[in-house]
Structure 1
């Protein structure tokens, strides 16, 4: 079996990466209010309600941190597509393999080098 061309890889994975990027950006915009600082006014909220609000804010911030990490990985994968380096192991230079790229198109290493 021959390795796919750069154009074939780009045609297969660019739309998927761009769609995931757009979904993550939209989710980030939709959850912006959940990450805002919690008002600690005791006249408006009880202690347990404030604790719940702080916990929810912390969880939203952690999700946003993971979301930004994934967005960086997607940007790097799209840059590799543009450079013609997509799908090739960063360490050994071999083709990563479509099954691995199908699972995660942001993968930068083949299974051998990743383990």
Structure 2
């Protein structure tokens, strides 16, 4: 796997670890889920972000885990982007979920090449 891909894996992992933990310690992030109309899904989303982040790092040694974690985070961000569009958030508010979706889709593609 290229150095570039490894850097992207670390970037994604640290970002999702931060956001996942952030949900549980930041009332502001919890309020965002209320604004989305998805308050009951906040804890699940935070937990999935943490699991995905850990999975990306474990996947550096076990390619199947990298494949599953990157696919899961891609799907999570696709859903997040869809929510942002549904509630009519602006371009800049919606952009991070879209970019993280693309980032994890790329990681998935690279993991698929390694796993084969």
Superposition TM-score tier, normalisation by shorter sequence: 0.3 to 0.5
Normalising by structure 1, what TM-score? Answer: 0.43
TM-score (norm 2): 0.42
Q: Larger % of helix: which?
A: 2
User: Which structure has the larger Rg?
Assistant: 1
